[in-house]
Structure formats: C-alpha cells, structure tokens
Structure 1
C-alpha cells in the first residue's frame, strides 16, 4: 500500500502558517490542498506493503463511530511499528491526503470556528508529542487500539468501549498520563476493572479513572509494579471501584 508522508519541512511550514492556509483547510475537498503540497514538494510517497486499505466511517454519532474506526484502523494496521505511529510526519501526511474527509467529519466544529490552534491539533502534533498521540483525531485511533488490543480475548477489542466514551480524547489522555501504563500487565489490569465495573451496571466516569491511577501511583511507591502479574495488580486495585471485602 502506498501512503503519503509529509516532509519535516512541510510539517514545520504548514503548522506554523495554518492561518494563511485556512481557506484550503476549510474545503471539504482536498484537491487545492494537494496541489499546494505537491507544488511545494511537501509530500513523499512510501510503499508499506504490510498495511492494507482502510476506509473510516465518516457519518454518524461519534460515540459509535470512534469505536468502529479504532477497530478498522488498528485492526488493519496492527503491524505498524510504534515508532512510525509516533511520527508526526506520518499522520500529517495521511490527514492531508487519504483521511482528509475523516478529519472534516470528526472535527467539523473546528472548521466552522476557524480556530488556528484547533486546526494545528487536527492535522499535526500541537500539544507535545506524547499527548498529541491521543489528541490528534487520526493518531489516537491507532494508539487507542494499541492500548486496548488483547489477542487473548475472544474479541480483542473488548476493552475498548470503557475508553471510547463521550470524552474520548480526554479519557485517553488521562489513561495514558501515567508512565506505568506502558506496562501491558498494568494497563490491562486497570482496563479489566473498568470493564467489569460497567458490566455490573455502573458507568465509568473520569473520577473513577483518576482514583485508579492515584491508587496505582501509591502502589508503585511501595512495590515494583512491573514485577506483579495482571491478576495481582487487579486484586490490589479493585477496592477503588468495588467494596473491599
């Protein structure tokens, strides 16, 4: 599959001068934008044979389509190397080409308001590299999948709904804010507790996730969390959401 990366010069120029190209960004059709980028030499083609074609949903309620689009993008591009998925040039190129329509659908209000700061976040990494992975509307689809995908489950995306709620981006940012979440066992222990909490008829709110992370940080000050199994971490955290026995 051939994809378009944006050059670093292109990222630097377009991100700095978003205001000057506001009309190009507001167009539902990206023909004029493509002509501009190609004239400047800001796009580079790269063959990525391991990736398959993806069509993202661009109609419907975000609460439903976010979940389906994570499934579609990460499901098809699971073999993408994390270092590539953390590269601003990769997502900037795709946002301006293959997934232009998706960005317009998902961030429609930003185009109506014409906020330069919002457009920078929509098409580039404008809030620091790590945070932007979960704020950028395209990159966060892949990274949400990366955070929740569990090949050991009948449905590998079973844990996704507890994160992909109304405040999808802010929930992801909070969830990934702890460096402890880079550990698979820790991440899945927290997600499993949240999923179980909702399965029992409750609603996971921001304060629940904050409380889990707070208890996790306290636990890490007393023991090497990385040495614990997923089940052991889950056992030590479950009192945050469920009555202590």
Structure 2
C-alpha cells in the first residue's frame, strides 16, 4: 500500500482539538471525514509503498508479560512490512499520526492496548507524534517500527534475537530506549548484547531490571563526559556488562548500595 500522511494544517487541527474529539477516539466509528468536512484535502498520498501490517493482540486488559509479548510480535510484523522505509521517512510525524487515526484496525489496536486504562495524555501520546522522544517511545505504531529498526540484526540468521532481549519486560524496554543510544544501531546492539549475556549469568532466579536501571544511569553519565564515537558495539557491550557484573559482585559481598527489590526478570 502507498503510505499517506496528514497535511500540517490537519495535524495541527487534530492536535488542538484532542479534548473536543475525546469521544471520537473512544469510538469505533470513522469520524475523520465528518470532522474534516468542508476541508480541501486533509491528507496526501506518498509514493512510498509498503507491505500490509495487521496488529496482533488479544482483546482485554494485559499484564506486563502479555504486553511485552504482543509488542515483540507486532514489532516483527510492522518492521517486516515497512522495512523499506528510510529513517528519514520513518521520522515523519504526519505519516504515523495519519495511520493511527485513519486505519480502522490500527485505531482498534490502540484503543485496546492503551485506552482501557486511559490517562490524561493517552490520546496525544499514542495517536500523535509530537517530539523525537514520542516517535521512539510513545506513538503506538512508530515506536514498534523503531524498535525493529534499532534491533534487527542483519548479520544473524535469527534477525530478531536482540528484539527479544529488548522485550525482556516493559521496564527494560523503556530503560534501554532511554539510554545514550538514541537511534544509534551500534550502541543499541551493544547494550542489548550486554543484557543478553548478563541474563545468562543471572539465570532464572534473579531479576535483571534493577541492575540495568543502575547501568543506564552509569551509561548516560559516561556518555555525558566521554567521547563514544569510536566505541563499537562490542566495546559498548563490555562497558555495560562489566558494570552490571561489578554491581552484582558488590551486592553479593555486601559492599555496594542495595538495589531496590523487585520481582521483574
């Protein structure tokens, strides 16, 4: 299918009228045509051709593990379908916002995934792209594509092995995307390899979430004071892995600060 996108005027109008349209977002009715009645051309169709993507989900409320599993599946589905997008094209906020509003099966998916426990900014964060951060972390569809782009391992026969690590749980996913990598494939790969290898050290009896949360702080501080341009993914892996090993050794010996106790694995 050829991808379409909102005009700037249409995007700004919808963004301004979120509260006014709140009931429309909760409805399964097509309302855009009525909303834009009298408006000449509220969207445009590009020449970018992509495959079909149908979100996979089981209707109803989900726990953390179910959300992570569905996100993993949908990341694979959307990246396989939209893989020919360039990063520049995939940064188009008007395109992702249009897809979230105009395609019925995408709207249904978003309502099921996020609007059962709706918060004040749910519509803005999940149906729109408003900032570079929301492109990567919040918008219901763009986040999945970028997860795929940043974790797809072109050199492995198991292309989505690192994607599976990203979705260890929802907290790990959020924290990984909040590290210094910011749209950098090599850095993302290095961080995920460190998590993979450290999980092997821990086994099934100890969770990794708190270790990586501390590691994230370390990596972000390291990036703020040190030039990382010449570090490859293996060096990033070593940096993160060795720090988590150090944290665990301190924990076991009782010489480090206690990590907050959680049950997430």
TM range, normalised to the smaller chain?
0.7 to 0.9
On the 8 A contact 1:122/1:137 being kept in 2, the answer is: yes
Q: Distance in 1 between matches of 2:239 and 2:188?
A: 14
Q: Which residue of 2 aligns with 1:232?
A: 235
Q: Which residue of 2 aligns with 1:54?
A: 53
TM-score, length-scaled by structure 1: 0.83
Secondary structure of the residue aligned to 2:88 is helix
Q: Distance in 2 between matches of 1:199 and 1:165?
A: 13
- After TM superposition, give the deviation of residue 218 of structure 1 in Å: 5.0
TM-score, length-scaled by structure 2: 0.77
On the 8 A contact 2:180/2:219 being kept in 1, the answer is: no
Secondary structure of the residue aligned to 1:4 is strand
Q: What is the Cα-based RMSD across aligned positions, in Å?
A: 2.5
- After TM superposition, give the deviation of residue 176 of structure 1 in Å: 3.1
Q: Which residue of 2 aligns with 1:194?
A: 195
Secondary structure of the residue aligned to 1:3 is strand
1:93-242 equivalence runs, <5 A = 93-98=98-103, 99-110=106-117, 113=118, 115=119, 117-126=121-130, 128-167=131-170, 171-200=172-201, 201=203, 202-205=206-209, 207-220=210-223, 224-242=227-245
On the 8 A contact 2:199/2:208 being kept in 1, the answer is: yes
On the 8 A contact 1:37/1:43 being kept in 2, the answer is: no
1:18-37 equivalence runs, <5 A = 18-29=18-29, 31-37=30-36
Residue deviations 1:192-226 (CA, integer Å, cap 9, x gap) = 01112224424331x33333233334544675432
Q: Which residue of 1 aligns with 2:263?
A: none
- After TM superposition, give the deviation of residue 184 of structure 1 in Å: 3.0
Q: Distance in 1 between matches of 2:190 and 2:26?
A: 42
| Counterpart pick for 1:87 among 92, 117, 126 | 92
Residue deviations 1:91-127 (CA, integer Å, cap 9, x gap) = 11100122222212211325xx5x552211121124x
On the 8 A contact 2:125/2:134 being kept in 1, the answer is: no
Q: Distance in 2 between matches of 1:18 and 1:163?
A: 32
Aligned residues: 235
On the 8 A contact 1:175/1:181 being kept in 2, the answer is: no
Residue deviations 1:122-154 (CA, integer Å, cap 9, x gap) = 21124x332443111111000111121111122
- After TM superposition, give the deviation of residue 162 of structure 1 in Å: 2.7
On the 8 A contact 1:58/1:101 being kept in 2, the answer is: no
Q: Distance in 2 between matches of 1:221 and 1:13?
A: 38
Q: Where does structure 2 lack aligned partners over 5 or more consecutive residues?
A: 60-65, 250-265
